[in-house]
Amino acid sequence: MERDVTGLVVPAVGTVAKVEAAPGIVLLDATGEPVAEVSEFFATMLASGASFSSLRSYGMALLRWWRFLAAIEVPWQHASRLEARDFVLWMRLVGPAGRQDGYAPATINHALAVVKMFYADRIRAGDGPLINPVPNADHRLGRRAQAHHNPMQPFAPGPRAPFRQRMPERIPRHLPDRLFDELFATLRSDRDRALLAFYVSTGARASELLGVTVDRVNAGDQRIAVRRKGSGRLQWLPASADAFVWLRLYEQQTRRPDGEQALWLTRRRPVRPLTYSAARRMLQRANESLGTAWTLHDLRHTAAQRMVDDPKMSLSDVQWVLGHAHITTTQIYLRPREEEVVSRVLAHHHDRAERPTAPPPADTAGYSAEVLAVLFGGPRP
């Protein structure tokens, strides 16, 4: 069966929703009903130690897969390698809302990993297809490459599995001080200024900072507690003094509803906790006025780069603040940045141009010392 997915429009049907009962996150199909098999998969993941934020991430990936299958009219139980291949082609060539630039390679690989996990769970439960539509890297072994790698030996990554995308090497984007000051000056409220100040001083992820409650602020010790995205543990992070100044100004202007514990609230009625989408929109408005495209995650990169550039802070200090499980993740901030390399290379060329050229020895060049002095500069004999 051949199909053309280059112009396929996938309707935005279904959604991922929060529910009170376990597992807490459900995938709703086009009719608004929860998909029972996905709920079973989420329950298995939750029992295996996955966080609710991870379940939501899995849900968004499966929602993308569900919408694609609905557009090509293939039930999930009948999906094969052909549908998985076309799913990847659609994500690469079309992407969200008919955009022509497609999804990022990391998003595609994440979607494939989640779909593969879902079908593996359903196959074990006995209600899925016999063959997982997302293939392994090695069909003979049926497991990932380097699964039992000797840590004492150099790591050599194996071949990419079919449909997986090549990941480009990316250097984290951060805001230089001048550009950060310009961005800060465009913000419209003390709440937004406080948010930005906390982002660049704590290095917290966007969702972590937005989840802070009023009882997790210690102005006396200049610390604020966030719930870590991966491990779920509570960590008290130090923040700058000016962040608490802006926070105080924001709180003086905020009428907090009785019993509301969320620290960050909307400015318009009805007053409710600030969501990620609203915080992102706040930054988008600032970007529109400046003609830039900074993201909330760039603020985390900015905090990390500022700390790495401080000779008084060790790399393990930065790792602790950022909440990285492995220090190798923190090491990406040690890579030289393009603008700095260009500046140093230009300074190198300038120094060489300013350096006087030594004339060749007079006895071997065939010219007198006086003539060479005129040609190359320097004292005359």
Given a contact cutoff of 8 angstroms between Cβ atoms, the answer to whether 183 and 282 are in contact is no
Given a contact cutoff of 8 angstroms between Cβ atoms, the answer to whether 246 and 197 are in contact is yes
CA atoms of 245 and 239, how far apart (whole Å): 11
pLDDT in tens, 65-112: 999 999 999 999 999 999 999 999 999 988 766 456 788 898 999 999
- Give residue 364's pLDDT: 46
- Of 72-81, 123-132, 133-142, 261-270, the poorest mean pLDDT is in 133-142
Confidence band (pLDDT; 50, 70, 90) for 190?
very high
pLDDT in tens, 344-362: 899 989 888 887 766 556 5
Alpha-carbon distance values, 288 to 93, 101, 180, 187, 285 (Å): 27, 21, 15, 12, 5
- Of 57-66, 193-202, 295-304, 364-373, the poorest mean pLDDT is in 364-373
Domain ranges of the chain: 15-125, 177-334, 339-376
Q: Which amino acid would we find at residue 145?
A: A
The domain defined by 177-334 folds into hpI Integrase; Chain A (1.10.443)
- Is 90 exceeded by the pLDDT of residue 208? yes
Percentage with pLDDT > 70 across the chain: 86
DSSP string, 153-212: S-----PPPTTPPPPPP-PPP---HHHHHHHHHH--SHHHHHHHHHHHHH---HHHHHT-
